[in-house]
Structure 1
Amino acid sequence: MTHDPIAGPYSPLLPSRRALMAAGGAAALGALTAGQGQAQPAAPTKARWRRWNVASPQGQKALASYAKAVKIMLALPPEDPNNWYNHALTHTVDCPHGNWWFVVWHRGYVGYFEQVVRKISGDNDFAFPYWDWTASPQVPAQMFQGVLNPNDAAYIQSLDAFNKAFGPVLETFWAGLTGAQTQQLLIRGLRFPADLLFDIGPKGGPMFFAPPNARGSTQQNPGFDGVTSRAVSPWMLDNALSPRDFIGFASPKSQFHSSITGFGVMEGQPHNKVHNCVGGIWTDAKGNTTYGDGLMQSNLSPVDPLFFLHHANIDRIWDLWTRKQQGYGYPTLPDDNKSYLNPRGDLGQWRAEPFLFFHDVNGQLVTGDKALAGAYETIGTFDYDYQPGSGENVVPPTGTTKLKAGKPAPATKYAAKLKTPGAASLAAGDVAVPAAVLAAAAKPGGTSLLATITIDLPPFEHANDLAVVVNTPEGEAVGLDSPGFVTTLSMFGRHLVTRPVSFTVPLSPPLAAVAKAKGLSAAAPPSGLSIRLVRLGSKPLLSAAAAPHAHHADAGATTAVPQVLDIVVHAQ
């Protein structure tokens, strides 16, 4: 495992923990006013079900019930709605990534499937255990046992066998689609079953990985590569939890849930990178990436039972963020900002987005209000809570004074001045940030600096992750141990990209590492902050035609390379 030079816990929340302690635990803050995102009601003191850490005795007990249900569902006929692969296909045809419906859609998807497992296993106390990869950055050992491992003999053993079993099922499914469902599938380029099977197969994807290549992680090597270890680290989690508005936390707005707009820290870093690493995409300490096989890298990722433990933790992080927001009196949902030009406002649009492919515990299509995003803005009738885990430090102590006047102060924004990059860089920009802000950002618990980088990507640019570096000279080779290395920008799954995509990444901890190694102003422009996008190890930039991984890029489809359009730094 690659050493991470950024040591120690880091929390970018404002006010800082030091400020809270100095104020006796009470934050001197202003208040929510009309027109701001609404706060969710407080969670019940005791939920009917608890999602336990998978490492706990209760989590281990839940795994036994989970394995029982998986075994039964794998043996069900393909046409049975509770067949294991049918549940995964719901994700394949409808999952949102890279937009503000990511967290809410997956809450509904995992919540309904949890009820199915509870019923089929016969364990009325079952709830998904969560995999706290910040505390335990390796695949839990039990997930390599029996049917909890997608390489088990109970799984479909070839793509041909999958097509033979589910081709007729998909024909029946398509024949029964409503007009609204058909329109949603058309947005994703799915006209009829052959389109979906093409996307799943080797020429369109692949999404399907047969044993013994159904998971990239192995019992002999269950840990993460360096970039993924960094993505799940405590400081990255703190930064993912730092935004004080819903869109900042949950990924940017889009017009519909099947489009990709961008990735917030939480989705773009721990979510995407855990998926890809477990799915066989591995970057060594020198920046060389091996593109292996594994279901978790694809939109058929729920075929791997590990998917639901991963997403239980993602939902736990959303719950953590919500409780943090409630503790300070900050908004927990998109802004209720109705206007003449936007009569529904952000909140109304977000709540009204139709989710038309969920099935309930009885295999019946979910309809009515439950087929709208707003049904899952709270845990609601799923009625679970979480055993405390990593990140609880961001939730303010009970009794912290809530907002009294005004809204949370918006982040201060600094736009980069893009400049001609050197031969080893895709883009470079200098950002005029006041010296006092930079000094505060280089201190643990100080100002949080987040950079939002907007890139115009080729249609299927999923390979050759770009690395973000801060205050590092053009001629200096960049590796995972470099003080100025921030992270890499990673897509997840296979999506047609038709518009610029943004990635938000944290700068404060790497800036602190540079300050410690070289001094605060080393290698920086007069403005104090320089940001570059590079290939790790200063390797030459590759065009899509030279991309090495057929799973994620179309060799020869285009000679275009990514173009950076904008870099904006947010200080909060």
Structure 2
Amino acid sequence: MVTRRSVLKAVVAGSVITAYSGILPGVKAFAQTGPRKRRSVNNMKFDDPDLETYRDFVGLMRNKPQTELVSWTGFANQHGDANNFKYCPHGDWYFLPWHRGFVEMYEKAAAVLTNNPDFAMPYWDWTTLRQLPGAFTEKTYKGKPNPLYVPGRGDDASMIRNALTGPYALTDALVGPKVIESIYKETVFEAFGTSRNPRQNNLDPKWVPMGGGNQGILERTPHNNIHNNIGAYMPNSNSPRDPIFMMHHGNIDRIWAYWNALGRKNSNDPLWLNMPFTDNYISPDGKFYTKVVKDLQSTSVLGYTYDNLPSKPDNKKVNTLRSQNLTALFNPAQESTLFKIKQSNISAATLAAPLRLSLPLENQILQDVIKPVAENTEGRELVALISDIKISDNVQAIRVFINRETVNLDVPDTDPHYVTTLGFLKHGSDHGLPSAIVNLTEALKNIAKTNSLANDEITVQLLPVPKPGVATTAVSNVLPASIELAVI
């Protein structure tokens, strides 16, 4: 009798496995009765079949020669090695589809190599579980080393795995319900995920890992801060070497699928839809294959779904003017009449002091932004583009405030002047400096409830958060090349 365990032994010995549905190059499809359902790992029993399969797969891939393409390191290297990203895009509009294809690569390889065609990759919902799932923190499982547990989460003594407590806690400001609500409320794809590189004018795949766009709330707040707070591999370009990576990106992918199920539309720009991720992925039989963005938009077409997607759209009315203005903000070729002001040539401030920039606005425009919803019929909003930010290695994150007399690390996230916390992954020199779009509207309205906004200035304050153990006085200021305000 052939069991999954006996097949696993055969795989380790180098045998060839028949393949999985869905369909990868060089493999044959199993019959399927419907899309695989990806489920939350949060409350999974340790012996849940999907968790068992993933554990077996990680162990199998770790036991292979790590110089092989089909190995734990071989797969991860398509994302990046210890020094630089290879194909993985961060900071541009390919972030979501590329990672969807990457997680699918692991999911299908696990199904084939463990002979479990029903396998669906779990996801970690970090909004409801603020600690690593238990299956990833136990050193052993059934009396043997647990492949999902990574001592120190790295093979370098300097790579320390952080407990998600204290300065590394996944707070409401990073992953809480209000953050998720803001993500789902966005109706423009490039503001929901991340925007294009404004210089892009063709479909050369070199644009994919180049960056150069403005990171939206999904990438720069929950995604990046979770990577950084976990520590070890996760803040770095070789982050897929931590098995928790797939659980984290499974949740990012679920949020995108949820956003689409609410009725939100992806970009229809040919520069997005037709971009090929040429030979970025590896099939279970060791061959490279290509995915195109337009083929990565629908999870059902890819053969899977999630366990908690909304059953119908929320019919949120799309503000056409706002959408046009945002598109124009991201795409220089798009004409618009939106009001903008740009502060450039920013000089370095004193060490350990928050960067403080005052930008004048026309007062009537500001008053339009802070009107109650019933009166603000056009739904005017104020956003800031914070571009090409220089960040020293001893900075963990950047807290953004507006119009507060003083800011320091003791000011709580509940303060009305607090806007958001930006996180950025460590990038190589070839990736460019990160940029972000930040919506200031809610903070402005919070301030207006208790204070008069009689003048016409917006003061943007960027407060560097030092890594634990680093003295505040030792932290260099974060320094953007420019901050641009736009009323959309």
TM-score with structure 1 length normalisation?
0.62
User: Matched residues in 1 for 2:151 and 2:407: separation?
Assistant: 47
2:171 maps to 1:237: no
Aligned pair partner of 1:365 in 279, 282, 288: 288
Q: Judge conservation of contact 1:460–1:494 (CA < 8 Å) in 2.
A: no
User: Matched residues in 1 for 2:368 and 2:286: separation?
Assistant: 58
User: Matched residues in 2 for 1:77 and 1:466: separation?
Assistant: 40
Alignment of 1:370-389 (within 5 A): 370-379=290-299, 381-388=301-308
- Give the superposition deviation at 1:373: 3.1
Aligned pair partner of 1:257 in 179, 197, 208: 208
Q: Judge conservation of contact 1:353–1:373 (CA < 8 Å) in 2.
A: yes
- Give the superposition deviation at 1:297: 1.1
Q: Judge conservation of contact 2:94–2:272 (CA < 8 Å) in 1.
A: no
Letter in 2 for 1:321: W
Letter in 1 for 2:267: L
SS of the residue aligned with 2:383? strand
Residue in structure 1 matched with residue 482 of structure 2 by the alignment: 565
Aligned pair partner of 1:106 in 99, 103, 111: 99
User: Matched residues in 2 for 1:471 and 1:141: separation?
Assistant: 42
Q: Judge conservation of contact 1:417–1:429 (CA < 8 Å) in 2.
A: no
Letter in 1 for 2:235: Q
- Give the superposition deviation at 1:235: 1.4
User: Matched residues in 2 for 1:470 and 1:145: separation?
Assistant: 43
Alignment of 1:541-556 (within 5 A): none
Residue in structure 2 matched with residue 471 of structure 1 by the alignment: 403
User: Matched residues in 2 for 1:496 and 1:569: separation?
Assistant: 29
Alignment of 1:196-207 (within 5 A): none
Alignment of 1:318-329 (within 5 A): 318-326=256-264
Residue in structure 2 matched with residue 487 of structure 1 by the alignment: 420
Structure 1 residues 100, 460: closer, same or farther in 2, change over 3 A? farther
Q: Please list the CA deviations of residues 73-113 of structure 1 after superposition, one character each: whole Å capped at 9, or x if unmatched.
A: 11112244321111111111221111011111111111111
User: Matched residues in 2 for 1:403 and 1:455: separation?
Assistant: 27
Structure 1 residues 414, 224: closer, same or farther in 2, change over 3 A? farther
User: Matched residues in 1 for 2:384 and 2:430: separation?
Assistant: 18
Structure 1 residues 416, 409: closer, same or farther in 2, change over 3 A? closer
Letter in 2 for 1:239: S
Q: Judge conservation of contact 2:225–2:422 (CA < 8 Å) in 1.
A: no
User: Matched residues in 2 for 1:274 and 1:507: separation?
Assistant: 23
The unaligned stretches of length 5 or more in structure 1 are: 1-45, 160-207, 280-293, 336-346, 549-559
Aligned pair partner of 1:333 in 267, 272, 283: 267
User: Matched residues in 2 for 1:228 and 1:497: separation?
Assistant: 32
> What percent of counterpart residues are identical?
23
Q: Judge conservation of contact 2:395–2:465 (CA < 8 Å) in 1.
A: no
Letter in 2 for 1:428: L
SS of the residue aligned with 2:278? coil
Residue in structure 1 matched with residue 121 of structure 2 by the alignment: 128
TM-score with structure 2 length normalisation?
0.72
User: Matched residues in 2 for 1:215 and 1:483: separation?
Assistant: 35
Alignment of 1:334-483 (within 5 A): 334-335=268-269, 347-348=270-271, 350-366=273-289, 370-379=290-299, 381-388=301-308, 396-397=313-314, 400=315, 410=325, 413-416=338-341, 418=343, 424-430=353-359, 431-432=361-362, 433-440=365-372, 449=381, 451-458=383-390, 463=395, 465-474=397-406, 479-481=411-413, 482-483=415-416
Letter in 2 for 1:437: V
- Give the superposition deviation at 1:295: 1.0
Q: Please list the CA deviations of residues 277-322 of structure 1 after superposition, one character each: whole Å capped at 9, or x if unmatched.
A: 111xxxxxxxxxxxxxx11111111111110010011111111222
Equivalent residue pairs, number: 418
Bigger helix share: 1
Aligned pair partner of 1:71 in 59, 62, 76: 59
Q: Judge conservation of contact 1:450–1:504 (CA < 8 Å) in 2.
A: no
Q: Judge conservation of contact 1:50–1:386 (CA < 8 Å) in 2.
A: yes
User: Matched residues in 2 for 1:454 and 1:461: separation?
Assistant: 19
- Give the superposition deviation at 1:502: 2.3
Letter in 2 for 1:73: M
Structure 1 residues 520, 307: closer, same or farther in 2, change over 3 A? same
Q: Judge conservation of contact 1:462–1:494 (CA < 8 Å) in 2.
A: no
Q: Larger RCO: Structure 1 or Structure 2 (Cα < 8 Å, ≥ 6 residues apart)?
A: 1
- Report the aligned-residue RMSD: 4.3
Residue in structure 2 matched with residue 54 of structure 1 by the alignment: 41
SS of the residue aligned with 1:71? helix
Structure 1 residues 212, 222: closer, same or farther in 2, change over 3 A? farther
Residue in structure 1 matched with residue 74 of structure 2 by the alignment: 86
User: Matched residues in 1 for 2:193 and 2:407: separation?
Assistant: 36
- Give the superposition deviation at 1:489: 2.5
Q: Please list the CA deviations of residues 196-232 of structure 1 after superposition, one character each: whole Å capped at 9, or x if unmatched.
A: xxxxxxxxxxxx93277756234xx568746754121
Letter in 1 for 2:138: Q
Q: Please list the CA deviations of residues 477-509 of structure 1 after superposition, one character each: whole Å capped at 9, or x if unmatched.
A: 762343312223221132326756421223344
Residue in structure 1 matched with residue 436 of structure 2 by the alignment: 503
Indicate the larger mover: 96-105 or 451-460. Answer: 451-460
The unaligned stretches of length 5 or more in structure 2 are: 1-32, 81-85, 201-206, 327-336
SS of the residue aligned with 1:567? strand
- Give the superposition deviation at 1:435: 2.0
Letter in 1 for 2:176: S
Indicate the larger mover: 270-279 or 78-87. Answer: 78-87
SS of the residue aligned with 1:91? coil
Residue in structure 2 matched with residue 248 of structure 1 by the alignment: 191
Structure 1 residues 532, 406: closer, same or farther in 2, change over 3 A? closer
User: Matched residues in 2 for 1:457 and 1:491: separation?
Assistant: 10
